[in-house]
Amino acid sequence: QVQLVESGGGSVQAGGSLRLSCAASGYTYTNDCIGWFRQAPGKEREGVAAIHLGDGSTIYADSVQGRFTISQDNAENTVYLQMNSLKPEDTAMYSCAADLAWSCTASLKTVVYNYWGQGTQVTVSS
């Protein structure tokens, strides 16, 4: 059974940092793609960052480029999202998702992802 568990959310002031973790289990962690998404109240879910676990290629939303970094730890079956220079507009529920297709491309599109975690809340105050 595929499981994705997020952690690391919390409340910080603007300019602060947080590191989110997405721990995966229940499948072979090799050439899959993992994405981080966020959804603020009243807004649609949006892709933040994604990574291809095989070749390490990444993609970022323009709104987080240069502030957020996605990375992987294959030994721990975990993908991280380091978030620096946080802004109040980064406040949202953050979720990770896995694309376990035979061939995937790191993508910010929600439709390509098969499995989702429950999410972790990030709140940034001004």
For the stretch 30-62, pLDDT in tens is 788 999 999 999 999 999 999 999 999 999 999
77-106 pLDDT per residue, tens: 999 999 999 999 999 999 999 998 878 899
pLDDT at 28 over 70: no
SS3 5: strand
- Number of residues that this document lists for the chain: 126
CA count, 13 A, side-chain hemisphere, 109: 5
Alpha-carbon gap, residue 112 to 36, rounded angstroms: 13
